[in-house]
Structure 1
Amino acid sequence: MRKTLILIFGVTILQLNFSCKTQYSTTELKNNFSTDQISDLNKITDFFKNQICENKNSDFKTCFNKILPELLENGLFSLLERIDYQNQKELYDSISESTFNEIWGFGKETYRDTGLELKSLSSKYNGKYQKFLTELGRTNNELKEYADRVIGAGDFESMGWLQNRIYLNPSKFDLDNQNIQLLIAIHFLTINDQRNRTDKWEK
């Protein structure tokens, strides 16, 4: 009887932990996304963390801080090579279309030498994710500059601004914060998509 009670108690604790993880959100997320969309956003963050972590039991902060020096020294490839693009496409299939469309849209990238026109992932103008970034920037000048860059360009810059700012101003980029984790995940997953997508632009 005692063993049975212990087993039931243990299963209950595991269920509670799983529930808290999947439903975890912040004020900024709740202000901009539905409950189901927040669950999708948690999937995106978890996917990114699992891709970049050598030790799958590590937390986001430990994993990202471990690769940040290499990212600064060697550029994006040191991080992007960890992300399996096929798995990333499966991630897209696991979240709702509404969530995807509040974060991303598609533009056209034309290669001058061949005239080839491909679809390129970009930031969805005036989508919920841009509004989320704007809200984050109201209390954090570094995040305001980041939001202004994304919204102004409609794209996620790949020249190293974000990783340099994280390194220089760690207090402004709290890697234990769910908002910051999501921002980093979406930033680098977008760039990985841009580098790997080969879908032709449909006229």
Structure 2
Amino acid sequence: MTDTAPRRRMPRAERERQMRAVAEEIFAERGYLAASMDEIAERCGVSKPMLYEYFGSKEGLLVACIRAARADLARATTAAASGASGPAEALRRGLVAFFEFTDAHRRSWALILRNEAAVAGPAAVAEVEAARREQVEIDMALFAGYLPDAPPAALEATAHIVVGACERLSLWYVTRADVSAEQAADHLMRTLWTGLAAGVTVDTPGRGTAR
């Protein structure tokens, strides 16, 4: 008689992470519309009803993938800027962390940003927009820490510029295996930093001094 060890019951949080990881791969491979809950369940080794129990729908699964990526990105960019000696160093560290994050999600990054969230539905679109807004708020807090007298409108405009530039460059970056995260960050620093540094400290016509 052969003894068999009991199968370990996977904790719910671990199972959910596994499902999200597999779903992200399949969404990247197939696109949202072509991806099937049957295939995701099969690769995960779970039943399709279990997927629906955890996420409610295929859109709910995509939203969960985006939400988890959003949390990872926020942690990475916030931690990277900690302890920087000035705003330029903090910004560059944050940019490098952002592009390193896109490396970890290289196959699905462009897919999510371009149109898959819109195809999936309003909840996915809202989650992508929430990720953008969160990065804007992180950048505003970063700049405010070094420029406490800058007006909030200038800080917010600057943060939107940085986030928008990061997003657009990332769509190019994920197609280029010959460009490192540091090189991508340096492209942005060369293009943006001089103007951004001036933009939050110079006089704004018709609005007084932005210092």
Higher helix residue share: 2
TM-score bin, normalised by smaller chain: 0.3 to 0.5
> Which gives a bigger RCO, structure 1 or 2 (Cα 8 Å, sep 6+)?
1
Structure having the higher Rg: 2
Higher strand residue share: 1
The TM-score with structure 2 as length reference comes to 0.33
